[in-house]
A and B are shown apart, each in its own frame.
Chain A
Amino acid sequence: MTCKNHNCQCGGNAGQDFAELAPVLDQYAKVPGSLITILQKAQDIYGYLSIDAINYISERTGIKAAKIYGVATFYAQFRLQPIGKHLIMLCKGTACHVNGADLIEEAVCEHLNIKDGETTEDGVFTLNNVACLGCCSLAPVMMIKSADGEETFGNLTKDKVKAILDDIRAREA
């Protein structure tokens, strides 16, 4: 579905060749029930699911783009916007809620000047509230995910959160 009109906004002509995604589709395009797996791999590669990526997956699998969009928006894991280098997954599970996760969120939002789902202007952090990370005894908890892997931080306090974020920002500078 490559669009010939270079001023068109349909996304079919973004010029990406999806070289990294192609082998994933070679493997899964014709395996029934693989859509979620394909979307997960696409997100791993590009960090999010762009309209172009969705169109490309549609073209290769024969699944309608609207349906792919429907699946992508149903699950909490999928993002349709690019994210920062470090994804803050702030746990809002029950144990974290009881132990003050709202205060931790407040601290992150204040310190980075973003809200849930937003990315800082410098592109270093994105904040995402998540349902439960399963480290309930260490509540409140957050996980920070980057290209280097993920790290979990427990028994958070407002000050501790700020120190962790400052530390990451200093390393990025």
Chain B
Amino acid sequence: MKVVIGQGSCGIATGARKTSNAFEQLIAEKGLTDVIIDKTGCIGTCYLEPIVDVYGDDGALEARYVKVQPDKVAEIVEKHLIGKSPVAELAISAEDEAFLNQQKRVVLRNCGRINPEKIDEYIAEGGYEAVKKVVTSMSQDEVIEEIKISGLRGRGGAGFPTWFKWNAAKQNPGSAKYMVCNADEGDPGAFMDRSVLEGDPHSLIEGMTIGGFAMGATEGIIYVRAEYPLAIERLENAMQQARERGFLGKNLFGTSFSFDLRIKAGAGAFVCGEETALIASLEGERGMPRLKPPFPAAKGYWQKPTNINNVETFANVPWILANGGAAFAGMGTEKSKGTKVFALAGKIKKGGLVEVPMGLPLKDVIYGIGGGIKQDKAFKAVQMGGPSGGCIPAELIDTPVTYEDINKTGAIVGSGGMIVMDETTCMVDMARYFLDFTRKESCGKCNYCRVGTKRMLEILERITAGKGRDGDIELLEELAAKIKDGSMCGLGQTAPNPVLTTIKYFRNEYEDHIYNHKCTAKSCKALIHFEIGDKCVGCTKCARNCPVDAISGAVKQKHSIDQAKCIKCGKCEENCSFGAIVRE
């Protein structure tokens, strides 16, 4: 039998290593010599971690256990591994199983199934077959044609056709060319690239090698975020194994094609998602964008033809070459083909990674797969595209998830982060949050981006502090237009989007803040006050926890808050066991 424990970053964060150790210890104690313990990457159901799969001797999955903390290990070992009967109470529910079954997995095909540290498991799933076919039997143009047929578009944000970039880099003359992978997933709220790097690093290596062959590169560079230490470790291990098997290095598969990879750890700069800024960073400079043209396909890394795609884009490539571009194009819609991975997070019941064919309505993702909103509160909006994207309101929940349809709402598909918000999320505060982010991350090259985001942030800060002025909304709109026009790269050009979409769909919230001094979502501290309602039983807990002694009242009597003393710290609300503290 085999016990497989999911050990991506999120699994480990919930205690998967402790669970794994508990299994090891107990299995050794019981002398179960026929049980193998193994690990795998993230399967996507982050809300159920740690996850333990038990496979029978025939290799069939016998049971998938969820939320397995170390205290549950003994029962599984006793009843299932020794007693041979699965423990139904600890297994995944049919409802949660639906989270996985409604998906179509191309990018995540191996994540959560194979051990990412063993190349043989990747090979057993057909790994490195596609690159072998490409290198030994196809021409560069044939590979590019296959990608063109597939309709694959860049999954990092802009959605540019992949074949076009590869072809441009191929056609530009030069003996040295570079294939670069952007694994600097900087968009806060997206983590699909981390999952692929940690759970299926070989698919990235294979995808990059195929791309390298198509454009005529002999060297590839993977630019990974320093915040992903586990990803770097597994990637290094995978590259080493690939070299040992002859999948990387000189004269691959006995041909004249040579290709190798190296890792460059990023140092934390969101602007490096911009191609030319990433190249500057690779060259050891400050990550500031350069003027285009020349495009990287002509003059990129060290002025040589360079192509950059992100992790998810590359992870699609081996599948496309193995199954044919037409099979990929058969999924999705007319202009947005294939599948896309989304990172569901925020106020959602079942957060995690989901991969679905493009064109599925937002509603099916949020309610169908994600199970709806936490505590069944009202759905207010979903934020897509991170700091470059926008908030899509509840009334547009039937929007199909395609590049074109999402663009029409003012948001973008971006790298696929979907942050779900409920009635308690203040949309003005959301806009303030993103502007705070872009203001910090602006590289400072363009005036409008550097100073403009700061000015917009100041306005948003005063609105959320209850000091908004008549004309602020119009001023925000004017600044937004100028920043879009006056910035050289995508960061500045899209930075106003979170503000513009929230003004477009939630103008009433801005007006409430400015003219009525009210926060619609009752979230901005400056615009609310706490009161004690009729549910109060007089337990005195709030009064004891109040740091400024603003709460008074006798035992078993309804308490009250002295508003003049109250500093709105919210300690009473946190500590009340009866839900008696209300925000007004």
Contacts and interface: CB of A to CB of B under 8 A. Distances in A.
Interface string B322-363: 000000000000000000000111110001100000000000
Given A40-B265, A95-B419, A154-B13, A133 B284 contact: no
A65 B541 CA distance: 58
Nearest to A152: B13
Contacts of B226: 40, 77
Interface in B178-200: 185-191, 194
B346 A98 contact: yes
Of the listed residues B186, B268, B434, B441, the one surrounded by the most CB atoms of chain A closer than 10 A to its CB is B268
A93 B189 contact: yes
B352 A137 contact: yes
Contacts of A155: 14
B12 interface: yes
A138 B10 contact: yes
A81 interface: no
Interface in A7-49: 32-37, 39-40
Contacts of A136: 189-191, 343, 345, 351, 417, 419
Nearest to A132: B188
A95 B346 contact: yes
Given A93-B189, A94-B188, A137-B352, A76 B267 contact: yes
B528 to A, nearest CB: 15
Interface in B253-304: 264-265, 267-270, 281-287, 302
Interface residue SS majority, chain A: mixed
Interface string A111-154: 00000000000000000001111111111010100000010111
B227 interface: yes
Contacts of B347: 98-99
Nearest to B570: A103
Nearest to B17: A151
B264 A37 contact: yes
Contacts of A36: 264-265, 267, 281, 284
A138 B13 contact: yes
A133 B437 CA distance: 15
A136 B342 CA distance: 12
B419 A94 contact: yes
A62 interface: no
Nearest to B348: A137
B346 to A, nearest CB: 5
B462 to A, nearest CB: 18
B68 to A, nearest CB: 15
A141 B10 CA distance: 10
Interface residue SS majority, chain B: mixed
A75 B76 CA distance: 47
Contacts of B220: none
A40 B187 contact: no
B419 A98 contact: yes
A158 interface: yes
B229 interface: yes
Contacts of B302: 32-33
Given A131-B188, A137-B351, A154-B10, A94 B268 contact: no
B55 interface: no
B127 interface: no
A154 B284 contact: no
Interface string B568-584: 00100010000000000
Contacts of A37: 264-265, 284
A40 B270 CA distance: 18
B425 interface: yes
A95 B229 CA distance: 21
A93 B186 CA distance: 10
A141 B13 contact: yes
Contacts of A3: none
Interface in B405-427: 417, 419, 421, 425
A77 B268 contact: yes
B282 A133 contact: no
A39 B287 CA distance: 15
B282 A33 contact: yes
Nearest to A96: B188
A103 B571 CA distance: 11
A139 B345 contact: yes
B228 interface: yes
Nearest to B429: A97
B566 to A, nearest CB: 16
A60 B47 CA distance: 50
B346 A135 contact: no
Given A75-B287, A94-B189, A133 B227 contact: yes
B9 interface: yes
Interface in A73-88: 74-78
B383 interface: yes
A138 B46 contact: yes
A98 B268 contact: no
Of the listed residues A132, A152, A158, the one surrounded by the most CB atoms of chain B closer than 10 A to its CB is A132
Contacts of B187: 132
A33 to B, nearest CB: 4
Given A94-B419, A99-B347, A137 B47 contact: yes
A93 B188 contact: yes
Contacts of A76: 267-269
A134 B191 contact: yes
B420 to A, nearest CB: 8
**7 closest Cβ pairs, A-B complex:** A137-B46, A76-B268, A137-B351, A93-B188, A75-B267, A35-B284, A95-B345
26 contacts: A32-B302, A35-B284, A36-B265, A37-B284, A71-B284, A74-B286, A75-B268, A77-B226, A94-B383, A94-B417, A94-B434, A95-B345, A98-B346, A98-B419, A98-B425, A98-B430, A131-B437, A132-B190, A134-B185, A134-B191, A135-B13, A136-B343, A138-B14, A138-B46, A143-B227, A158-B574
Interface of B: 9-10, 12-14, 46-47, 49, 185-191, 194, 226-229, 264-265, 267-270, 281-287, 302, 343-347, 351-352, 383, 386, 417, 419, 421, 425, 430, 433-434, 437, 441, 443, 570, 574
